[in-house]
Structure 1
Amino acid sequence: MIHLEKTKGRVHLVLDACFMGEDIVVMISGGDRPHLGTISAGARLEPMQTVQLQNHKEFYITEEVAVRLRKHFRGNFAVLSGTHLDNASKEEINWMTEMAIELGDALIEQLKGKTS
């Protein structure tokens, strides 16, 4: 299990990644009400698929992290995300997206050498 956190202002995000054999599940959550909003899954040589639950917009996060992950990870992967911050400003919404992608990049750095 890999656990990473990032905070900026009122925005606090958590990335937890767990291995299922050679595969990985990455969960990015945070804010006031963490939830399951969007799932992007795939493999290195297969098309990626995204499932957006209800009207959640975390696909901006899951798809970007998944695209970056597939370049460095050989197994199957699923990236799940759900972040919500009550009364979030546009700036805070941008922070959430940027911070989530930065967490994904930090995960990839930890995985390099182990799975490339």
Structure 2
Amino acid sequence: MQDLTIERGRIKVNAKTFLIGEDLCVIISGGDAPHIGCVTLSVPRPSLSDSSEISSTTSILNLIGHKDDEAARYVSQKLSSKLSKNVVVTCGIHVDNITVEEINETIDLLKVLTNRLIEKLI
């Protein structure tokens, strides 16, 4: 299991990973009210543009009124493609009165967190 947290200013994001056989389950939470806002499943496959590279196909279940799907999709697809594993991500980050700049900061933090997870899981 990996348990990583990264934060800047008011934004704090945590990722917990669990290997389940050859598959990977990731729980992303953060902010003032962590929750389950979205669930994704990414399955690795040969890239459609270059069959020598691995890409992934992602299915998304999003709770009504939540906007966690872009974050969950990014993490799920990136991990699945880089690790060549089936990956499930649950994601729920809520920051009260979040600004556009803080939304962008959250996305940047998720990218850093995802890269750190890849380094630890390879």
One fold, TM greater than 0.5?
yes
- Asked whether the equivalents of residues 38 and 82 of structure 1 are also in contact (C-alpha less than 8 Å), the reply is yes
1:87 and 1:47 map into 2 onto residues whose CA distance is: 33
Residue in structure 1 matching 2:99, options 56, 64, 89: 89
- How many residues of Structure 1 are paired with residues of Structure 2 in the alignment? 112
2:25 and 2:42 map into 1 onto residues whose CA distance is: 11
Cα deviations by residue, 1:51-83 (Å, 9 ceiling, x for unpaired): 111121111111111221122223311011100
- Structure 2 residue ranges without an equivalent (≥5): 46-55
Specify the SS of the correspondent of 2:88. Answer: strand
1:17 and 1:52 map into 2 onto residues whose CA distance is: 20
- Asked whether the equivalents of residues 28 and 100 of structure 1 are also in contact (C-alpha less than 8 Å), the reply is no
The CA RMSD over aligned residues, in Å, is 1.3
- The aligned runs of 1:31-42 (5 Å cut-off) are 31-42=31-42
- Per the alignment, residue 74 of structure 1 pairs with 84
The structure with the larger Rg is 2
- Structure 1 residue ranges without an equivalent (≥5): none
Which contiguous aligned blocks of 4+ residues in structure 1 show a shift greater than 2 angstroms?
A: none
